[in-house]
Structure 1
Amino acid sequence: MPHTPLIATLVAGLGLAFIFGTVANRLHLSPLVGYLLAGVLIGPFTPGFVADQSLARQLAELGVILLMFGIGLHFSIHDLLSVRTIALPGALGQMALVTTLGFIVAQAIGWPIAAGVVFGLALSVASTVVVLRALQEKRQLETDGGRIAVGWLVVEDVAMILALVLLPAFAGSFGGSTTRPSSGDGGLFTFLEPQTVSGALALALTKLTAFFAAMAIFGRRVIPWVLHYVAHTGSRELFRLAVLAIALGVAFGAAELFGVSFALGAFFAGMILAESQLSQRAAQETLPLRDAFAVLFFVSVGMLFNPMILVEQPLLVGATFLIIVIGNATAASAIAIMFGYSLPVALTLGLSLAQIGEFSFILAALGVELKLLPEAGRDLVLAGAILSILINPLLFAGFGRLMPWLKQREPVGAIQEDRKTDTPELTGTRLTHHAVLVGYGRVGSLVAETLQKARLPYLIIEERQAVADQLRALGAEVIIGNAAQPGLLEAANVGAAKWLISAIPSPFESGNLIERARTVNPTLEIIARAHSDAEVDYLTRLGANLIIMGEREIARSISEHILSRIDVSAAPNPNEGQTGRISE
């Protein structure tokens, strides 16, 4: 049998992630816990099969790229600029506070000054993947806390890019290696190879400026044009390929040419494409691959973890864990409150940032390579990352239960998330005997047009802020949010509605919506869309009255058109005498 490490890594990683993710979900835990455990089992520190770590990390990078690209598709430049007043000073302030805590611990155990700085800095940077997955699972990406968290992460990513460029220049001054690792991070600017701190800082700022300029000038013109051109070919296969090529190509080009991280490059590519009308379709095409490869990120993190460090250095692991979770959460929450935000918004932000991930691993590895950080420091960073990622879903679950209690005790002067995002509690409709349309994409927009022409009362549930703003400008009643968000169906007054129309393409989200709506209003007429017979059966079991499948409606329209042009009774039947079944 040929040696196939790539296939073996994929099969073992995805297979065990599925098994343990299912078990975790069954135990009412986040599937992330199962993915991490799967990584530990196929890592080098446990007996049995050992997957290829290098391949796992590269596969995980694909997941990071696709995830960040997908987030960018739902996060406009306006959203990013709207949180700049808190994200920029807040992220830098939080990183400074947590870096100081890590430095104090490092000094207490006798590490050099440089080791303390690198160690503390590695503990101050949240994992982009973990934050976004947690916010998506809790339907909080479109809230104030979610938008601030994304902007905060962008600032942290930029700060870490500067740190990774400056660290080699500082190494010689602090007794580390004076030889810069040849990682190829410089891209077009490698020939400069600065050896001074000022030179390194100037190079880093030049690269970032060049990247932003390229995305603003070249990206905003070329990327949407390419997708629109491919869309007009009518080939779904080519469109899907174009989306993947753009996401991966921009991320790789950003890293190779400008020294920017894969994640940041992909995020800006998605954010630029979000201005296009094809953004929703692009998000749908990347969703399956994005989820599969994002799982591999958590598996690869689990593979790095050596469980023995919990036995050998329990006190240091505990101190590292507390700095990551308590230090980051407290610092971020306190800064948000200082800026006047309400306690729920501040805690959402704090809990989002109460873990570390990919950039922390990169910084710790570079510190060890430059002989600034002892290997024990890298092991502590990895242990803290694993434990913080494991505990993060539990913190969010506890926070969800405390949310109603916290909202009742908010100070009057705080910036309320509800006021800023028009959440259901403050925008409940007064409509009755109306239609609730969920999703305003290609299908939903046509349905809304029909309802408008028929003068039927209706409202739209849409999670994209830009689309919702456009609809409101046209006079439509819109509730911003995801239909699975608690309280949203109540705000739409589903209990007094006549129709519920689910125009969203995901059968799982649609099924959840239908099940909840049927509980609220047993007499509600529910109409949904599906892509296969299995989805039709699934949605029917959950309570849908009418399910439209694209292929069936196309066949029915063609058949009706043909029959309307001929006299069926007089037409000969060439298939008379043949047996067979024509499915509807």
Structure 2
Amino acid sequence: MLILQLAIILIASKIFGDLSVRLGQPSVLGKLIIGIILGPSVLGLVTETETLTQLSQIGVILLMFIAGLETDLDEFKRTGKPATLVGFGGIIVPLVLGFFAGMMLNLSTFQSVFLGLLLSATSVSISVQALKEMNQLQSREGSTILGAAVIDDVVVILALAFLMSLSGGDVNLGLVVLKKVLFFAGAILVGWKVVPWFMKKFAPLKVTETVISSALIICFVYAYLAEYTGVAAIIGAYIAGIAISTSGYKEEVFGKVETISYSIFVPVFFTSIGVSAQFNGIFDNLGLVIGLSILAILTKLIGASIGAKVSGFTWNSSLAIGSAMVSRGEVALIIAAIGLETKLLTQDLFAILVVVILVTTIVTPPMMKLFFKNHSRTVKAA
């Protein structure tokens, strides 16, 4: 069944991706929608299995690894201040308004803070693909978005650890912070000194495809260590891509890893997001789903856009950046699962939030298309 499901996913994602482009939208939108159609909620041709989930995880890791390879490190350094303001702007507004929304829903104080943190999460894996298709990944806006996403991920996870420690969870906040500090310090040091050395030593081995194999080893090790220390695996993969981008193997690695990724793993990732959607009983809470979806979209868009504007971007560029931060993706799904496990979310609220997360993920590509189109017009006019 897995082989058949993979065949169905690949042909459907390519056809619907092409259709989405012909309709003036990023191809990722078509892949997300066809996932819903293929999944249990509609046709039931593809089901969420452990193997499919693992293939999807590899897909998002490789996607962020490619984003790291394509990152202009000098531009990334220059966008430190804007990325920080965008990251914190995109956290504060959803956190505060999400908290008040939780109180209005008669949730406890801890539950309301948790809801605010969940709405503060960002996953730019979907945005990365849209940025690539619009040739904006290496722009100042693209670098700001990627930097803000790293800041967002770290701050939200630290805040979540703090909340869990206060709510009686078995969490050592000092250890959580220490592990993240050690990861980033080690990742930077290894990327600077060890990665180039490893690539030079491994590449000449008398076996086939040693360059791409060594790059993937680095990518997966970084992703694993990031996950192990409580930082998202996609952040580790992104840092690994940046490390290899500074070596002399960047072009060779990029060409081959892109072929591997987009031929199977990345389409599986995009499609599996839609496949995982469950709409059972959602129509009984449709008003709440719509309300929380609007709140999730507007708070992240407004908060991140204000951060970008304060840092010196035009309003068109600020809205483009803000729209790219809207997707909550797999990061928010992980946080929601933690909430369900620790009883901070009820089963009904968990199901509602999964749909809200899916909505934010689906609306992100067309929003980015709209705002980046306006941004391009402004640049040309100037």
Q: Same fold (TM over 0.5)?
A: yes
Equivalence for 1:274 = 245
Q: How does 1:84-103 map to 2 (within 5 A)?
A: 84-103=80-99
2:113 partner letter: V
The CA deviation at 1:314 is: 2.1
Structure 1 residues 309 and 323, CA gap change in structure 2 (3 angstroms): farther
Structure 1 residues 39 and 275, CA gap change in structure 2 (3 angstroms): same
Alpha-carbon distance in structure 1 between the residues aligned to 2:100 and 2:164: 23
Equivalence for 1:510 = none
The CA deviation at 1:321 is: 1.7
Q: Is the 8 A contact 2:39 2:275 kept in 1?
A: yes
TM-score (norm 2): 0.90
Q: Is the 8 A contact 2:99 2:116 kept in 1?
A: yes
Alpha-carbon distance in structure 2 between the residues aligned to 1:241 and 1:118: 40
Q: How does 1:51-70 map to 2 (within 5 A)?
A: 51-70=47-66
Equivalence for 2:117 = 121
The CA deviation at 1:55 is: 2.3
Q: How does 1:30-179 map to 2 (within 5 A)?
A: 30-172=26-168, 178=169
Alpha-carbon distance in structure 2 between the residues aligned to 1:395 and 1:114: 32
Q: Is the 8 A contact 1:79 1:147 kept in 2?
A: yes
1:116 partner letter: S
1:170 partner letter: L
Residues 487-513 of structure 1: CA deviation (Å, up to 9, x unaligned): xxxxxxxxxxxxxxxxxxxxxxxxxxx
Which sections of structure 2, spanning at least 5 residues, go unmatched? none
- Provide the secondary structure at the position in 2 that maps to 1:354: coil
Alpha-carbon distance in structure 1 between the residues aligned to 2:34 and 2:12: 5
* Structure with more relative contact order (C-alpha pairs < 8 Å, separation 6 or more): 2
Q: How does 1:404-553 map to 2 (within 5 A)?
A: 406=378
Greater strand percent: which structure?
A: 1
Structure 1 residues 404 and 266, CA gap change in structure 2 (3 angstroms): closer
- Provide the secondary structure at the position in 1 that maps to 2:268: helix
Equivalence for 1:451 = none
Equivalence for 1:333 = 305
Alpha-carbon distance in structure 1 between the residues aligned to 2:307 and 2:203: 45
Alpha-carbon distance in structure 2 between the residues aligned to 1:320 and 1:95: 16
The CA deviation at 1:223 is: 1.6
Structure 1 residues 334 and 253, CA gap change in structure 2 (3 angstroms): closer
Equivalence for 2:259 = 288
Residues 338-382 of structure 1: CA deviation (Å, up to 9, x unaligned): 222222321221111122111100001100100011223322322
The CA deviation at 1:308 is: 4.6
1:111 partner letter: L
Equivalence for 2:277 = 305
Equivalence for 2:291 = 319
Structure 1 residues 39 and 299, CA gap change in structure 2 (3 angstroms): same
Alpha-carbon distance in structure 1 between the residues aligned to 2:380 and 2:63: 35
The CA deviation at 1:397 is: 2.9
The CA deviation at 1:53 is: 3.3
2:111 partner letter: A
- Provide the secondary structure at the position in 2 that maps to 1:313: helix
Residues 157-195 of structure 1: CA deviation (Å, up to 9, x unaligned): 2123324533432332xxxxx5x5xxxxxxxxxxxxx4x
Q: Is the 8 A contact 1:355 1:389 kept in 2?
A: yes
Structure 1 residues 51 and 93, CA gap change in structure 2 (3 angstroms): same
Alpha-carbon distance in structure 1 between the residues aligned to 2:376 and 2:242: 33
TM-score (norm 1): 0.61
Alpha-carbon distance in structure 2 between the residues aligned to 1:167 and 1:15: 44
Alpha-carbon distance in structure 1 between the residues aligned to 2:141 and 2:44: 43
Equivalence for 1:471 = none
Match status 1:388 vs 2:369: no
1:264 partner letter: I
Q: Is the 8 A contact 1:119 1:377 kept in 2?
A: no
Q: How does 1:144-223 map to 2 (within 5 A)?
A: 144-172=140-168, 178=169, 180=170, 194=171, 200-223=172-195
Q: How does 1:217-232 map to 2 (within 5 A)?
A: 217-232=189-204
Alpha-carbon distance in structure 2 between the residues aligned to 1:143 and 1:112: 43
- Structure 1 segments (4+ residues) deviating >4 Å: 233-236, 404-409
Q: Which moved more, 1:338-347 or 1:12-21?
A: 12-21
Structure 1 residues 244 and 201, CA gap change in structure 2 (3 angstroms): same
Alpha-carbon distance in structure 1 between the residues aligned to 2:340 and 2:305: 32
Q: Is the 8 A contact 2:26 2:369 kept in 1?
A: no
- Provide the secondary structure at the position in 2 that maps to 1:107: helix
2:261 partner letter: R
The CA deviation at 1:273 is: 1.6
Q: Is the 8 A contact 1:171 1:372 kept in 2?
A: no
Q: Is the 8 A contact 1:343 1:406 kept in 2?
A: no
Q: Is the 8 A contact 1:71 1:270 kept in 2?
A: yes
Greater helix percent: which structure?
A: 2
2:237 partner letter: A
- Provide the secondary structure at the position in 1 that maps to 2:234: helix
2:236 partner letter: G
Structure 1 residues 404 and 84, CA gap change in structure 2 (3 angstroms): closer
Equivalence for 1:455 = none
Alpha-carbon distance in structure 2 between the residues aligned to 1:238 and 1:125: 37
Q: Is the 8 A contact 1:144 1:345 kept in 2?
A: no
Residues 257-291 of structure 1: CA deviation (Å, up to 9, x unaligned): x2332111111111112211211211111002222
Alpha-carbon distance in structure 2 between the residues aligned to 1:333 and 1:255: 29
Alpha-carbon distance in structure 2 between the residues aligned to 1:251 and 1:365: 20
Q: Percent identity, please.
A: 27
The CA deviation at 1:404 is: 5.9
Structure 1 residues 206 and 9, CA gap change in structure 2 (3 angstroms): farther
2:34 partner letter: A
Structure 1 residues 82 and 46, CA gap change in structure 2 (3 angstroms): same
Which sections of structure 1, spanning at least 5 residues, go unmatched? 173-177, 181-193, 195-199, 410-424, 426-584
Q: CA RMSD, aligned part only?
A: 2.5
Alpha-carbon distance in structure 2 between the residues aligned to 1:321 and 1:44: 22
Match status 1:370 vs 2:342: yes
Equivalence for 1:246 = 218
Equivalence for 1:428 = none
2:148 partner letter: W
The CA deviation at 1:149 is: 0.6
